[in-house]
Chain A
Amino acid sequence: EAGVTQFPSHSVIEKGQTVTLRCDPISGHDNLYWYRRVMGKEIKFLLHFVKESKQDESGMPNNRFLAERTGGTYSTLKVQPAELEDSGVYFCASSLGTSAQHFGDGTRLSIL
Chain B
Amino acid sequence: GENVEQHPSTLSVQEGDSAVIKCTYSDSASNYFPWYKQELGKRPQLIIDIRSNVGEKKDQRIAVTLNKTAKHFSLHITETQPEDSAVYFCAAGFSGGYNKLIFGAGTRLAVHP
Contacts and interface: CB of A to CB of B under 8 A. Distances in A.
Interface of A: 3-4, 31, 33, 35, 40-45, 48, 56, 58-59, 91, 95, 97-106
Given A101-B34, A103-B36, A31 B43 contact: no
Nearest to B90: A42
Contacts of A100: 34, 46, 49, 96-97
Given A3-B43, A103-B45, 4 more contacts: A42-B105, A98-B95, A99-B96, A104-B43
Contacts, number: 65
B93 to A, nearest CB: 8
Given A33-B100, A48-B100, A101-B101, A43 B44 contact: yes
B25 interface: no
A71 B97 CA distance: 22
Interface size class of B (residues with CB under 8 A): 20 to 34
A98 B106 contact: no
A45 B45 CA distance: 17
Interface in B72-113: 89, 91, 95-106
Interface of B: 4, 6, 34, 36, 42-46, 49, 89, 91, 95-106
A98 B44 contact: no
Contacts of B4: 42
A91 B97 contact: no
Contacts of B101: 33, 35, 43, 45, 101
Given A45-B101, A45-B102, A103-B36, A91 B96 contact: no
A59 B1 CA distance: 12
Contacts of A105: 42-43
A103 B44 contact: yes
